[in-house]
């Protein structure tokens, strides 16, 4: 079900620990609740399952009406970026699509599944949704990679790039537009942290020491969105953003915060389409 070297970890209300599920595991009913919304966290390139594990555990203990899984393909995530994009990404997406389809055996249709990915894997989960003909319930893409996808001379085909047709609802977060992140709005709902611009305020130490074009500074902005997202995996924290025509209008106070702009991550709330903006603090939980 998953390519060699990949596995999932599953957490449900019966335990506070993740259970390893290998690619040949047959009875998902033993580790997942039937007919429940299910979230698959897909870690990023050069990352591993620990990237989202703690947040997923916290959700599983607090919100017991859903299944939470982390997808681990660490041995495949360490290849050169171009190779990962051109060969490995679609391979993982294909197996993920098969896994989602297999959940139908325990009454979990694609419409009840959410996929979360960051950077390159934001596009990977989009490819998974495309293979499933857009029937996924939702996708959350965290600062989808711009180079190779929406900018640069070696862009992928449009179907390799995350877009709103990949799921019934696509939410995209932005934090490094103009550098590593995509400058194009790719979701039904687009959330811009500090305008989505590089460098992020929390990365000022890197920009002062190395300059804004340094890779460390770029990576800081790129991964900042992941840190903010993980903070919102605490069920007691709401993400409050403002729907606005532009970041300029948002800064000028021309767009009023309304209750409908509150978004609780990994839920059915706050699915209003449009562009949303928020300013973050410099320390956890950032919001």
Mean per-residue pLDDT pooled into runs of 10, the chain (287 residues) = 45 52 60 93 95 91 90 94 94 95 95 97 98 97 95 73 96 95 96 96 91 93 96 85 93 75 53 92 88
Distance from chain centroid for Cα 194: 18
- Do the Cβ atoms of 84 and 121 come closer than 8 Å? no
Is residue 234 domain-resident? yes
DSSP string of 48-98, one letter each residue: -THHHHHHHHHHHHH-TTEEEEEEE-GGGTTS-HHHIIIIIHHHHHHHHHH
pLDDT of residue 119: 97
Is residue 265 domain-resident? yes
Q: Which of 118, 242, 129, 96 is nearest to 182 (CA)?
A: 118
Q: What's this model's pTM, rounded to 2 decimal places?
A: 0.89
- The greatest distance separating any two alpha carbons of the chain, rounded to the nearest whole angstrom, comes to 55
pLDDT of residue 9: 56
Give the structural domain span for 54: 31-278
Q: Which of 170, 166, 177, 112 is nearest to 141 (CA)?
A: 170
Is residue 16 domain-resident? no
Is residue 15 domain-resident? no
Is residue 6 domain-resident? no
pLDDT of residue 4: 34
Q: Report the run of H or E that residue 100 belongs to, with start and end.
A: helix 89-102
Is residue 3 domain-resident? no
Q: Which two tokens stand for residue 246?
A: 């532009």
b/e for 88-112, b at 16 or more Cβ within 10 A?
A: bbbbbbebbbebbbebeebebebeb
- Do the Cβ atoms of 85 and 91 come closer than 8 Å? no
Give the domain CATH number at 211: 3.40.50.1820
Is residue 219 domain-resident? yes
Is residue 65 domain-resident? yes
Domain count, the chain: 1
């Amino acid at each position: 079900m998953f390519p060699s070297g990949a596995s999932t970890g599953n957490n449900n209300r019966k335990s506070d620990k993740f259970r390893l599920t290998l690619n040949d595991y047959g009875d998902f009913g033993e580790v997942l609740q039937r007919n429940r919304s299910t979230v698959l966290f897909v870690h990023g390139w050069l990352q591993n399952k620990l990237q989202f594990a703690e947040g997923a555990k916290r959700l599983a203990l607090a919100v017991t009406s859903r299944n939470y899984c982390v997808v681990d393909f660490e041995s495949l995530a360490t290849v050169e970026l171009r190779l990962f994009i051109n060969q490995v990404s679609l391979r993982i997406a294909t197996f993920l699509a098969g896994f989602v389809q297999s959940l139908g055996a325990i009454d979990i249709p694609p419409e009840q599944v959410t996929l979360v990915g960051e950077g390159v894997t934001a596009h990977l989960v989009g490819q998974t949704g495309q293979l499933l003909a857009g029937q996924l319930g939702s996708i959350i893409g965290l600062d989808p990679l711009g180079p190779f996808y929406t900018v640069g001379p070696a862009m992928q085909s449009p179907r390799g790039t995350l877009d709103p047709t990949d799921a019934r609802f696509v939410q995209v977060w932005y934090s490094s537009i103009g550098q590593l992140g995509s400058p194009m709005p790719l979701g039904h709902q687009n959330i811009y942290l500090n305008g989505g611009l590089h460098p992020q305020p929390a990365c000022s130490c890197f920009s002062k020491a190395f300059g804004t074009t340094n890779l460390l500074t770029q990576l800081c902005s790129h991964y900042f969105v992941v840190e903010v997202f993980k903070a919102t995996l605490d069920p007691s924290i709401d993400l409050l953003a403002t729907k606005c025509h532009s970041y300029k209008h948002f800064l000028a106070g021309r767009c009023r915060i309304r209750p409908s702009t509150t978004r609780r991550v990994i839920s059915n709330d706050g699915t209003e389409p449009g562009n949303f903006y928020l300013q973050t603090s410099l320390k956890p939980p950032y919001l």
